[in-house]
Chains A and B, each alone.
Chain A
Amino acid sequence: GDSVTQMEGPVTLSEEAFLTINCTYTATGYPSLFWYVQYPGEGLQLLLKATKADDKGSNKGFEATYRKETTSFHLEKGSVQVSDSAVYFCALRGPNDYKLSFGAGTTVTVRA
Chain B
Amino acid sequence: AAGVIQSPRHLIKEKRETATLKCYPIPRHDTVYWYQQGPGQDPQFLISFYEKMQSDKGSIPDRFSAQQFSDYHSELNMSSLELGDSALYFCASSPGSGTYNEQFFGPGTRLTVL
Residues of A within 8 A of B (CB): 32, 36, 42-46, 49, 51, 89, 93-105
- Of the candidate stretches B11-19, B40-48, B63-71, B76-84, the one touching chain A is B40-48
Distance of A89 Cα from B44 Cα, bound (Å): 12
Contact partner of A98 (CB less than 8 A), chosen from B4, B50, B105, B106, is: B50
Q: Are A45 and B105 closer than 8 Å at their CB atoms?
A: yes
Q: Are B106 and A99 closer than 8 Å at their CB atoms?
A: no
Q: Are A42 and B107 closer than 8 Å at their CB atoms?
A: yes
- A44-B90, A45-B105 as given contacts; A99 in contact with B99, CB under 8 Å: no
Q: Are B90 and A43 closer than 8 Å at their CB atoms?
A: yes
Q: Are B33 and A89 closer than 8 Å at their CB atoms?
A: no
Query: How many residues of B sit at the interface, in one of the four size bands?
Result: 20 to 34
Q: Is B108 at the interface (CB under 8 A from chain A)? A: yes
- A42-B107, A43-B90, A43-B108 as given contacts; A100 in contact with B102, CB under 8 Å: no
- A43-B108, A44-B90, A105-B42 as given contacts; A98 in contact with B33, CB under 8 Å: yes
- Looking across the interface, which residue of chain A has its beta carbon closest to that of B49? A98
Q: Is B97 at the interface (CB under 8 A from chain A)? A: yes
Determine the chain A residues whose CB is within 8 A of the CB of B106 once the complex forms. Answer: 43
Determine the chain B residues whose CB is within 8 A of the CB of A101 once the complex forms. Answer: 45
Q: Are B55 and A98 closer than 8 Å at their CB atoms?
A: yes
Determine the chain A residues whose CB is within 8 A of the CB of B58 once the complex forms. Answer: 99
Distance of A95 Cα from B55 Cα, bound (Å): 14
Residues 89-110 of chain B, each 1 if its beta carbon lies under 8 Å from chain A, else 0: 0101000010110111111100
Distance of A105 Cα from B90 Cα, bound (Å): 16
Determine the chain B residues whose CB is within 8 A of the CB of A104 once the complex forms. Answer: 41-42
Interface centre among B56, B104, B105 (most CB of A within 10 A): B105
Q: Are A51 and B43 closer than 8 Å at their CB atoms?
A: no
Q: Is B86 at the interface (CB under 8 A from chain A)? A: no
Q: Are B42 and A103 closer than 8 Å at their CB atoms?
A: yes
